[in-house]
Amino acid sequence: MAEKHPTASLLTNSLHHRLLSLPIANKLHFDSESIRAASVDYGLIVREIPKAVLRPSCPEDIMTLVAFMYNESSIPFTISARGCGHSIRGQAMARDGVVVDMTSLDNKQHGTTVSYSQSLGHYADVGGQQLWIDVLEETLKHGVAPVCLTDYLYVTVGGTLSNAGISGEAFRYGPQINNVYEMDVITGTGDFMTCSPEKNSELFYSVLGGLGQFGIIMRARIALGRAPKRAKWVRMLYSDFSAYTMDQERLISRHRRDQDEALNYVEGFLFMHRNSDSWIPFFSPSDHPRLMSLVAEHELLYCIEVAKYYDDRTQSTVDKDLEILLKDLNHVPEFRFEKDVSYVDFLSRVRVEELELRGRGLWNVPHPWLDLFVPKSRIADINTGVFKNIALKRNITTGYVLFYPLNKNKWDDRMSAVTPDEDIFYTVEFLHSSGFGDWQELELQNKEVLRFCEDNGIKFKQYLPNYSTEREWMEHFGPKWRTFQERKAQFDPKMLLSPGQRIFNHN
């Protein structure tokens, strides 16, 4: 291993001493346990060791740190805001810098407040460090809920808004970034700014989907809607790919926000024998033999998963509405499965799986995930070249393979997030779980998938992108790259924030 340059060591030691002179010194942690926890994330693939961890109790603590780093006359050290560390490629890390543990902020002082106005209806002001599950629980006390939630609720508001925040609800309501009215942000200069489409709009649109590059989200004002009580939860199986995509696209075409009769949630999965552990538990044990027989017959099955929410007001019509919505779909006869569950149980479905995996010691393992947005016009090529050729032939795919369409008109192109340039695009997510000794095989499969897309001219976009060179990031952002650069220079001119994304910090 190469020795660190003496000058770098002197700078690091100097930083340590100067940090200890700050009024937040008692909230800076240099102990091995704190450093170790901030050096890994959910992916357990990348390891980057910071010099310190800040556990703030208020926004002023973060402002003090950022302003200090910004005003450093020597080489500035980087800062990364970390929520639950649910990133998979080290995006929330800061090698030789300072990681800000957002979850240490006081939830009572900077938690969730529900309000109402004539112009917005119900909305909530929520702390960037808040878990979505905590936001949900607080809003439900008022009979309302966020209009779009991610599949997994044990992640922070700031974390999902820095990416996009997608789920089966996004076809109708747009991603979570499209349901934000206002934010408080600490920029890379240490300034505390309130921003919205009308006020400091460049910062507002930069931060949403901006991968943490422009500021640290301290508060977000989010849209709320009437909270349902229960959900009709349905899965339908397909052996024919064209029928599957045609039906999915038909289902997401009915997406008016206020239409009670429309579906609330549409997703999809790829079922194979190799990943049956992930999808089989949904079904009754008595159905398992015929399901596995169908998988053996076709090798690949496609599943549409939908949900229709209801409450006391719509209970008498929900079954009829659901039948109308699902009428004339072309799934395999006799392979439609339905559950009636509480709204909270539906939203907690991934948490149930998490607790089961934790009990088996299979949660804190490497997660070499691959998340892509693929234009509708090329989705058949993904089926043939990726699902049937790569995934089936390698026979190593584990965990969920999510696969469902989204409407581009539900995304605001002024924001930093990027999507394919077609009216409908598909989310294709390989959510692998692996042992510590074999994740590299899954990583090789991911690279083969990316190579197939590139070789065949498929203009995909990575969701939760992972690149290491400026050229790759330029291609990812496309026409937005110049604006992205300009806004970085405006709001984080010393490139302090989110170095783990490796957009501007390539080393």
Residues 117 and 98 both lie in one domain = no
What is the C-alpha separation between 102 and 402, in angstroms, rounded? 29
Residues found in the chain: 507
- Residues of the chain below pLDDT 50: 1-8, 10
* Position 356 in a domain: no
Residue located via tokens 């050729």 = 389
One domain, residues 295 and 153: no
Q: Is residue 494 part of a domain?
A: no
Q: Of 190, 207, 226, which one is at a domain's C-terminal end?
A: 226
Q: Residue 158 sits in a domain of what CATH number?
A: 3.30.465.10
C-alpha to C-alpha distance for 27 and 50, rounded to whole angstroms: 15
In a domain? residue 486: no
Residues 235 and 221 in one domain: no
CATH (domain of 279): 3.40.462.10
User: Whose structure tokens read 């892509």?
Assistant: 372
Residue 498 lies in a domain: no
Q: Are residues 313 and 371 in the same domain?
A: yes
Q: Where does a domain end: 69, 84, 102?
A: 102
The whole-number pLDDT of residue 464 equals: 95
Q: What is the pLDDT of residue 235?
A: 98
Pair 321, 258 in one domain: yes
- The burial class, CB within 10 Å (0-12 / 13-18 / 19+), for 427 is buried
Same domain, 212 and 294: no
Same domain, 221 and 146: yes
Residues 182 and 242 in one domain: no
Number of domains in the chain: 3
Residues 244 and 332 in one domain: yes
Query: How far is the C-alpha of 178 from the C-alpha of 419, rounded, in Å?
Result: 14
Domain membership of residue 484 (yes or no) is no
The per-residue pLDDT for 2 is 43
Whether 283 and 425 map to the same domain: the answer is: yes
Range of the domain at 193: 112-226
For the whole prediction, is pTM greater than 0.85?
Answer: yes
Classify residue 295: in a domain, yes or no: yes
Please check whether residue 490 lies inside any domain of the structure: no
- Residues catalogued as catalytic: 86, 151, 267
If asked whether residues 286 and 424 sit together in one domain, one would say yes
Cβ atoms within 10 Å, residue 10: 11
Tell me which of 226, 244, 272 is where a domain ends: 226
Same domain, 439 and 308: yes
Q: Residue 351: inside a domain, yes or no?
A: no
